[in-house]
Amino acid sequence: MTEQRRFNRAGLILNPVFQYLEEEDRYLSRRNRPKYRFNLIGAGIIGQEHIRVTLLEGRATIHGVYDPNPRSIIAAQREAQKYDPDLNLVIYDSLDAVCNDPAVDGLIVCTPNSTHIDVIHTVAAAGKHILLEKPIATTVQDAFTIMQLAMQHRAVFQVGLQYRFKPQYSEALYEILERKTIGQVKTIGMAEHRMPFLDKVGQWNKFADYSGDTLVEKCCHYFDLINRIAQNRPKTVYAVGSAAVNFADFEREGRRSDILDNGMVIITYENGVTANFNLCMFAPMFYEELVVCGDLGRIKTTEHEDFLPHNRPVTQMEIATVDDRPSRMTQPMYPALIQHSGHQGGTYVEHVEFVDQIAGKPSRAASAEEGFWAIVVGAAAQASIATGAPIVINDYLEQMGLML
């Protein structure tokens, strides 16, 4: 069996029911020898998700971890052994050591946003395959530097914008871009309504200089999706937003939280597509909505978890088309083990794409260039909120000395 991840074998491998079998009696439930080894830099909430999905996907393993926080190391080891009880992670004591272990093929960077720009130089110098978490940086200038570094990198350089692999977005992108189900895209609407930012090591996500602020930190995912659907570069960005409710009394080391908790962003594209994005981070739920209208129809997707006692499907998609094409209502989803492994299975598929790219196959995963443009929209929206004026993207980049 060459492709370990096929036929949902992870469920069979992990199922304790088969533990009574001798190794030689295992076929479908046998754990294959992983072909690739990855090291993890930063083992917080998403680092642990990367451990989980690497081991579930099965063609690679996690070799070791570097993280200055001992509790993150303990959590990483615990997570790894849930999926491979024999796995003992190597614990590195420096960034140099984690990057330059010859046993390792790839590096997954999951440190706080503001550290990416420093960490990535050592990571890239090691010449291994890279999966860098979003947002690639906290400022447009640093994102530009990282994009250039990625262009010169001789191995895979993938960015952790994995929302495109959540089942509802994966299906919507396929319908819009491949099947052209709704014809030519004209308008894109996107919304996220959710709980406040969760706790982090050092609470870096409560401060704009550590996170890049909310529209860069969190919403780069949505701007990436919108950019991808528009299939074009943003021309203008106008936004309003504020810190209306959350973290009003939050203070750490004498500093008050200074991040946005809501925003409305309007984007125009060079090709005439228009888009809006609406964020509210003080809603008692996790809700995402995408509505795309083309000249032949409309696609709407939702992801909805609200903690109420009903059984509404979490991920849904509606396609309404003109009368000679069938309309549909569906519930896109992955097998439960994958769907529940994080981000509705999006991170798992991101790893399928990462390993495929390493194996030289074509990929739908986000590049550093796409990571850069997602940050441009978020940062321009924040600049628009600060000044009250619309931002013309070409002028905005030119003022920073960036010619693209």
Ligand X SMILES: NC(=O)c1ccc[n+]([C@@H]2O[C@H](COP(=O)([O-])OP(=O)(O)OC[C@H]3O[C@@H](n4cnc5c(N)ncnc54)[C@H](O)[C@@H]3O)[C@@H](O)[C@H]2O)c1
* Residues binding ligand X (CB under 6 A): 41-47, 66-69, 72, 110-113, 115, 119, 133-134, 160, 162, 200-201, 217, 343
CB of 76 to ligand X, least distance (A): 9
CB of 122 to ligand X, least distance (A): 10
Q: Torsion angle, CA of 291/295/296/297, rounded to 10 degrees?
A: 20
Shortest Cβ distance from residue 207 to ligand X (Å)?
12
Given the complex with ligand X, which of 119 and 219 has the nearer CB atom? 119
Taking the least distance from each CB to ligand X, the nearer of 111 and 302 is 111
Indicate the residue among 80 and 319 with the shorter CB distance to ligand X: 80
Nearer to ligand X, 153 or 343 (CB): 343
- Pick between residue 42 and residue 294 the one whose CB is nearest to ligand X: 42
Smallest gap from residue 166 Cβ to ligand X (A): 10
Beta-bridge mates of residue 66: 41
Give me the residue whose beta carbon is nearest to ligand X. 44
Q: Is the Cβ of residue 238 or residue 277 nearer to ligand X in the bound state?
A: 277
Instruction: Pick between residue 200 and residue 235 the one whose CB is nearest to ligand X.
Output: 200
Q: How far is the CB of 67 from ligand X (least distance, A)?
A: 4
Minimum distance of ligand X from residue 218's CB (angstroms):
8
Closest approach of Cβ 15 to ligand X, in Å?
28
Nearest residue (CB) to ligand X, 116 versus 129 = 116
CB of 359 to ligand X, least distance (A): 22
